[in-house]
């Protein structure tokens, strides 16, 4: 499970990498994001109503309404930011988004914590040119309209897809890791049939990844700035 990642790419770099026209970039003058947490701002690449690639800011986590077990009254909604690959095609919470609303989540690294009091934070990335080579997670999105945090909100929410970990990540998180897509798979994930899109959900090769940094208290990847 990933509850923290970074995206320090400027919007112009995202437009170039993901082939998004400037007119469909809604990020504005987005600042680098060295630490993106659940309920935070998460840029995505999605298809608009015309089937064109667009850059949107989203709320990281699908909104899951909750009620108190004691009173039965509504309480603070939960933001579900990881979608398990083994639930995408069966869970009503994810299924429609997987079939109709897949997206790319731009990133420069992601974090997994190991241990407690204190935890050691490991920041993973992909091998390539530059300090933090960019990449994209497989994601899904959906619109939300309703009460959230005590106020009426309308927003786009997103969640990344997770799968079983590779050898590099397994030592830190033995159960899950986010799905990193190869660039040649971007179009298939966005536009392909559900069956072919699902076939892309597998662990990224460990030999093509690297640990950028690790240590206590590293709750943001400022090494990528």
| Domain containing residue 198: CATH number | 3.90.1680.10
Write out pLDDT tens, residues 14-64.
999 999 999 999 998 889 999 999 999 999 999 999 999 999 999 999 998
The CA-CA-CA angle for residues 104, 100, 94, to 5°, reads 80
The number of distinct structural domains making up the chain is 1
Q: Could you tell me the pTM of the whole model?
A: 0.95
User: Which of 48, 145, 38, 160 is CA-nearest to residue 104?
Assistant: 160
List the helix and strand counts (H, then E) for the chain: 5, 15
How many whole angstroms separate alpha carbon 30 and alpha carbon 15?
12
Residues spanned by the domain of 107: 5-224
| Average predicted confidence (pLDDT) for the chain | 94
Q: Looking at residue 1, what is its pLDDT?
A: 62
């Amino acid at each position: 499970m990933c509850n923290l990642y970074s995206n320090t790419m400027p919007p112009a770099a995202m437009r170039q990498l993901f082939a998004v026209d400037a007119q469909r970039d809604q990020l504005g003058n987005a600042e680098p994001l060295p630490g993106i947490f659940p309920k935070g701002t998460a840029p995505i690449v999605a298809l608009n109503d015309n089937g064109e690639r667009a850059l949107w800011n989203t709320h990281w986590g699908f909104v899951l309404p909750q009620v108190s077990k004691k009173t039965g009254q509504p309480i603070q909604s939960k933001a579900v930011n990881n979608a398990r690959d083994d639930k995408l095609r069966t869970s009503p919470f994810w299924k429609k988004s997987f079939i109709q609303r897949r997206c790319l989540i731009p990133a420069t690294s992601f974090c997994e914590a190991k241990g407690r009091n204190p935890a050691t934070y490991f920041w993973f990335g992909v091998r390539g040119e530059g300090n933090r080579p960019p990449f994209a997670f497989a994601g899904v999105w959906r619109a939300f309209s309703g009460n959230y945090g005590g106020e009426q909100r309308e927003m786009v929410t997103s969640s990344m897809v997770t799968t079983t970990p590779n050898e590099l990540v397994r030592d830190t998180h033995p159960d899950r890791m986010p799905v990193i897509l190869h660039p040649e798979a971007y179009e298939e994930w966005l536009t392909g049939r559900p069956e072919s899109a699902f076939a892309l959900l597998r662990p990224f090769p460990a030999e093509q990844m690297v640990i950028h940094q690790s240590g206590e208290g590293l709750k943001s990847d400022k090494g990528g700035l």
